[in-house]
Structure 1
Amino acid sequence: MSVYKYFILFLLLFSLNLITNAQNQKPRVIVTTDGEADDRASMVRFLLTTNEFDVEGIINSSSQFHWVGGQGWKAFHPVEWVKEYIEYYAEVYNNLKLHDPSYPTPEYLLSKWKVGNINAIGEDDIRTEGAKFITELLLDETDSRPIWIQAWGGCNTISRALKIIQEDYPEKMEYAAKKMRLFLIWEQDETYQNYIRPNWEHFNIPTIISDQFDCMAYIWPKVLPKDIQTYFESDRMTNNIIENHGALCSVYENNQGAFNAEGDTPAFLHSIPNGLRSMESPSYGGWGGRYVNVRNNVWMDPLPDSTYTRPDGQWGFHNSWSKQMEHDIESNKVEIRTNYFKPIWRWLDAVQNDFAARADWCVKDYASANHHPIIKLKNTPINLKAKAGSKIKLDPSKTTDPDGDALLFNWWHYNEADTYQGKSINTSHHAKTKITIPEDALPGDTIHMVCEVSDSGTPKLTRYQRVIITVIN
């Protein structure tokens, strides 16, 4: 073989290695939390999911609901709760490693715990340890991978971090902005509107501001469909999560054994690499919800119906569509509300089964627990081009299950995520299937097909692979 051919082969292998590494990289995440009861419940699930992420920070912050000096319900939970929960995680860590060796060590997680701006609602003047920590991560030029920064409470610690960059390193603002991804559970103080929006939004930072999350918060018994509610009721939660599942699950905040609230959980559900590709665009939809572009690169909830208008300013408790619909009892309004939350609840059976499996991993050996199927497509790229009227083959026959369980395949058309506006493509329960691109599809239209694979284990676990078809002439 000539030197030239060796060189070409080297470049090819090097490129393939880069692609493989990129596909295998875990999402980087930072959590900021005001420590409310539902934050603490979310933290249990988050810690059990840390094998899916590169955890870059867990940072105490405040919100309009909880801050140091707040009274009664608004009192601030002492910051040490984060350390305590990581210590509970440490008690089950060795068992978790039996199921996935990539779970981070308790020592690593403790090194990522910092205290941010907690002293008042929206206080973003003090250069706290937490704010400086975020700044350092965003300015670090040794790792340019994106970081999903989650605001489980207010945005004030994030705001302070960005102020440090603007004040001390203005020439680095664009670099930092390119690394940032924001997932906000409402705007729980005014710092997004007062500082982040006017100073940073023009950099087109991908930003999700969610109201859909509320179906996993305190109002879940009112707004979730009855068949989904069963996954949150006391029998299932007590038996599958809270009792006899180790130290971490034993401190899970609950309501007499039933689910209480995890309003912040969608912020990290969005970043779990489960095959739905939701991190590629908020419009795709996934476990953390589905969103529409409203300005720049800011994404919010789809309109419940044409009578709703999106706020110009802060999006939060005082003008939440969820709160407006919470007490609706008329059948037509209940239908609107149910459809509004569907981008999240449609996945919640799988989400809750995933939680139950991870709780099992705290106490069971590998052979006694269940693990997720591994979907592999055969001769089926995840991005396809096809002409209207053409037939294409979808083949996940290389899919395996680590426990040897039987697998149930389901190909379905996620038409809410399409830009194609026509009829739905029929569901198929065969592993290998053929679909026909609709004749009325226009060049440039996208069609989203989801391969959903569930195993026969207990609890039933589900993974996905989304295939996006772009229509061409």
Structure 2
Amino acid sequence: MKRLLILIFFTVLIAGLPGSVFGNRKPRVIVTTDGEADDRASMVRFLLSTNEFDVEGIVNSSSQFHWVGGEGWNAFHEVSWIRDYINLYSKVYENLLLHDADYPSPEYLLSKWKVGNINGVGEDSIRTEGAELITNVLLDKTDSRPVWIQAWGGCNTISRALKIIQEDHPERMEEAAGKMRLFLIWEQDKTYQEYIRPNWEQFNIPTIISDQFDCMAYIWPKVLPDDVKTYFNAGWMTKNILEGHGALCDAYENNNGAFNAEGDTPSFLHSIPDGLRSMESPDYGGWGGRYVKVRNNVWMDPRPDSTYQYPTGQWGFSNSWSKNMEHDTSPEKVAIRTNYFKPIWRWMDDVQNYFAARADWCVKDYASANHHPLVRLKNTPLNIEAKAGDTIKLDASATTDPDKDKIDFRWWNYKEAGTYKGREINDAVTPKTKITISNDALPGETIHMICEVSDSGSPSLTSYQRVIITITD
């Protein structure tokens, strides 16, 4: 009876929480950014995605590339750029509300903007408002939900926040660590290695340190497959983002009409609750990439091949696998590089169409724009236990589309995410399908089945639901 009451309590609690347009719970997020051109482009997409999150903070920070006092390319962009972008968001806010009432007000977002540690590379000695904001969120007892903290630049403001906790509340370090999730776009200063790792990694904080993000940064023309580049070229970007989509998209920094760079975007793509369940474990894979555990609860990119070794220290520009492969030209090495980035680019058509729809939401009324299908499973648990030889029914026939568009279904096995590597599981293009667990499946192995639903709207939008099958004795 006690277990039943607890289950009912949490069911009611979850049902009462705000959800995303995909029909799933919102995660809590904090952004830290050094304000580089690609950060500013990522901020446009982030602001158009804020209905998917509970935004707890947007914080200026520095990095090894940009800091106050840096000169030339290393110069620091004035911190007010964040305020300016939120003001541009305010110009399209009322129209965004026509599509989702969960968009936060510009006033709310401005209240979450703070300046962190910006005076030098890796400076983490000053108690800044940005660091204190992060501290307060982690120590707030009124909300125990996890917080995804993103480092678009260096980790120094995050480091300063954690130092405050260690200095002022050492007895609460484990408590704060239990709420923290980190997504680092490289380690863009030394503070992760010099302070966070020796003092906090012991608490097994889920930490992603990404290198594969680089396929959405400045080198994308060299490394993306040709069919994916279509969504980054000037024709697509100009039509879908840059022209006629309101003040915020007008500010989107581009390269003569083409995509320039959004190297930091994977850090929040990972947290969009799109049904891929990527926040449950970094090795599940999703819009923000797929990662493997290298130590404690620290996750990095899958090795391109057996010759690559994980770094023992800082993981960044100087030893990046992406940078090492950037100029490869032989067909064999290009194939390795293409496969290395596949955990992100495999989703890019859907990701870009998502962006295009949000750009439309800035200027179009509800009836004139497109919205995501809502994937609903019927008599199909998200987690299934099955024995070898069992037949599993998968049913997404309750799925609907808010615009009454025609919807297409695809059930497919995400082989890289599962541990079963035996017989091929064929795709299905119907709402309902069955799969029979092969007799060579071993206890403990997993099969990740993705239900992918795309609508006939313009741009075509895709939603998902992942079902994980675990083999038992």
Aligned-residue offset at 1:13:
4.9
Show structure 1 runs of 5+ residues with no match: none
Instruction: Give the match for residue 319 of structure 1.
Output: 319
| Structure 2 residue 12 is the aligned partner of structure 1 residue 17 | yes
Bigger Cα displacement from structure 2, 258-267 vs 15-24: 15-24
> For 2:209, what is the secondary structure of its paired residue?
strand
In structure 2, how many angstroms separate the alpha carbons of the residues matched to 1:90 and 1:203? 40
In structure 2, how many angstroms separate the alpha carbons of the residues matched to 1:188 and 1:8? 46
Provide Cα deviations, 1:222-251, integer angstroms capped at 9, x if missing partner: 000000000000011011001100000000
Contact residue 415 and residue 424 of structure 1 kept, 8 A: no
Instruction: Give the match for residue 230 of structure 2.
Output: 230
Contact residue 88 and residue 247 of structure 1 kept, 8 A: yes
C-alpha spacing 1:181/1:14, structure 2 compared with 1 (3 Å):
closer
C-alpha spacing 1:114/1:11, structure 2 compared with 1 (3 Å):
closer
> For 1:232, what is the secondary structure of its paired residue?
coil
> For 1:417, what is the secondary structure of its paired residue?
coil
Provide Cα deviations, 1:179-218, integer angstroms capped at 9, x if missing partner: 0000000000000000000000000000000000000000
> For 1:202, what is the secondary structure of its paired residue?
helix
Contact residue 25 and residue 273 of structure 2 kept, 8 A: no
Aligned-residue offset at 1:10:
7.7
In structure 2, how many angstroms separate the alpha carbons of the residues matched to 1:84 and 1:19? 35
Aligned-residue offset at 1:19:
4.3
1:160-175 matched pairs, under 5 angstroms: 160-175=160-175
In structure 2, how many angstroms separate the alpha carbons of the residues matched to 1:19 and 1:48? 24
In structure 2, how many angstroms separate the alpha carbons of the residues matched to 1:292 and 1:35? 29
Instruction: Give the match for residue 279 of structure 1.
Output: 279
Instruction: Give the match for residue 434 of structure 1.
Output: 434
Q: How many aligned residue pairs are there? A: 468
C-alpha spacing 1:13/1:122, structure 2 compared with 1 (3 Å):
closer
In structure 2, how many angstroms separate the alpha carbons of the residues matched to 1:14 and 1:60? 39
Aligned-residue offset at 1:436:
1.0
Instruction: Give the match for residue 381 of structure 1.
Output: 381
1:205-284 matched pairs, under 5 angstroms: 205-284=205-284
Provide Cα deviations, 1:255-291, integer angstroms capped at 9, x if missing partner: 0000000000000000000000000000000000000
Provide Cα deviations, 1:152-203, integer angstroms capped at 9, x if missing partner: 0000000000000001100000000000000000000000000000000000
Contact residue 419 and residue 447 of structure 1 kept, 8 A: yes
Provide Cα deviations, 1:72-94, integer angstroms capped at 9, x if missing partner: 00100000000000000000000
Aligned-residue offset at 1:18:
2.8
| TM norm structure 2 | 0.97
Residue identity in the other structure for 1:18: L
Instruction: Give the match for residue 391 of structure 1.
Output: 391
In structure 1, how many angstroms separate the alpha carbons of the residues matched to 2:50 and 2:7? 33
In structure 2, how many angstroms separate the alpha carbons of the residues matched to 1:334 and 1:14? 52
> For 2:447, what is the secondary structure of its paired residue?
strand
C-alpha spacing 1:203/1:89, structure 2 compared with 1 (3 Å):
same
Bigger Cα displacement from structure 2, 179-188 vs 437-446: 437-446
C-alpha spacing 1:10/1:344, structure 2 compared with 1 (3 Å):
closer
RMSD over equivalenced CA pairs, Å: 1.4
Instruction: Give the match for residue 42 of structure 1.
Output: 42
In structure 1, how many angstroms separate the alpha carbons of the residues matched to 2:294 and 2:185? 17
Residue identity in the other structure for 2:139: L
Residue identity in the other structure for 2:131: A
Provide Cα deviations, 1:106-144, integer angstroms capped at 9, x if missing partner: 000000000000000000000011001110110111111
Provide Cα deviations, 1:363-411, integer angstroms capped at 9, x if missing partner: 0000000000000000000100111111111000000000000001000
Aligned-residue offset at 1:14:
3.8
Bigger Cα displacement from structure 2, 242-251 vs 434-443: 434-443
In structure 1, how many angstroms separate the alpha carbons of the residues matched to 2:129 and 2:10? 39
- Identity among equivalent positions (%) equals 75
Instruction: Give the match for residue 294 of structure 1.
Output: 294
> For 2:312, what is the secondary structure of its paired residue?
coil
Aligned-residue offset at 1:8:
11
In structure 2, how many angstroms separate the alpha carbons of the residues matched to 1:333 and 1:298? 27
> For 2:438, what is the secondary structure of its paired residue?
coil
Instruction: Give the match for residue 58 of structure 1.
Output: 58
Provide Cα deviations, 1:310-332, integer angstroms capped at 9, x if missing partner: 11000000000000000000000
In structure 1, how many angstroms separate the alpha carbons of the residues matched to 2:136 and 2:440? 51
In structure 2, how many angstroms separate the alpha carbons of the residues matched to 1:415 and 1:307? 23
| TM norm structure 1 | 0.97
> For 1:416, what is the secondary structure of its paired residue?
coil
> For 2:416, what is the secondary structure of its paired residue?
helix
1:68-217 matched pairs, under 5 angstroms: 68-217=68-217
| Misfit runs of 4+, over 3 Å | 7-16, 21-25
Contact residue 123 and residue 156 of structure 1 kept, 8 A: yes
Contact residue 31 and residue 58 of structure 1 kept, 8 A: yes
In structure 2, how many angstroms separate the alpha carbons of the residues matched to 1:146 and 1:342? 28
In structure 2, how many angstroms separate the alpha carbons of the residues matched to 1:412 and 1:319? 35
